[in-house]
Amino acid sequence: MYIWFIVSIVGMCCMVPLHFLSVEHLNLQKKYGKEKGTKIGDILGMVSGWGLFIFWFGVWLSPQISFIIPILESLVLNVLLINLSISLTHFIISLPFIIIGAWFGITSVKKTTLKVTETHRAERIVEEGLYSRIRHPQYFGGVLAHIGISFLLSSLFSVIGTPIIIILNLLISWKEEKELLKEFGNEYEDYKKKVPMFIPKLRR
């Protein structure tokens, strides 16, 4: 019954090594030449990025045990001609997580461009906007959205699996930063000293 949830979690984990390879731009260019190495990195980046995203959807939507916080009555919504019974309490809890998480994700993509997001290949260090307060706003937003969607759908395993989601995002962030240090050197080291990795700073 829970095979699709397990497949989705394992699938997300399998995308991490691919992501690791995709951000090793210098090694790929050294091994295959600049043009071919860049192309291989871009392909690996798109496969790992979209793969991670698709498997993440599987974590939310796969059949699993539901949970309800029994405070308010259920709110029935009609989505795509399918009646989904959504707890009003869960809806209230999930909304700010989803909105804030989506805002972090969309705003950061607009700042870096979709191409950089898909290929994980940065041409410069972005220090403006959200990136002046947190080094990985997309992944932070993804974790917030994960919590919100898990509550909205009352997906128990998805909620319990949140630490795994956080660890995967931290691993990806760590690897990206390791490679960025190779590519940008002291410039990125100085940026790291000024801006926190995963928890936004509130003061300038």
Q: What is the pLDDT of residues 93-140, one digit of tens each?
A: 999 999 999 999 999 988 887 777 777 778 888 888 899 999 999 999
d(CA 146, CA 98): 8
User: Which band of pLDDT confidence, cut at 50, 70 and 90, is reported for residue 201?
Assistant: confident
3-state secondary structure of 155: strand
pLDDT: which is higher, 163 or 112: 163
pLDDT: which is higher, 2 or 95: 95
Cα–Cα separations (whole angstroms), residue 157 to 58, 67, 154: 11, 9, 9
- Six-digit token pair at 149? 């969607």
Mean pLDDT (whole number) for 27-45: 93
Sketch out the chain's domains with CATH numbers. 3-194 (1.20.120)
d(CA 61, CA 57): 6
In this structure, the number of other CB atoms found within 10 A of the CB of residue 81 comes to 5
3-state secondary structure of 86: strand
Residue that is written with structure tokens 């940065």 in the block: 122
Return the pLDDT at 67: 86
Instruction: For the chain, give the percent of residues with pLDDT over 90.
Output: 71
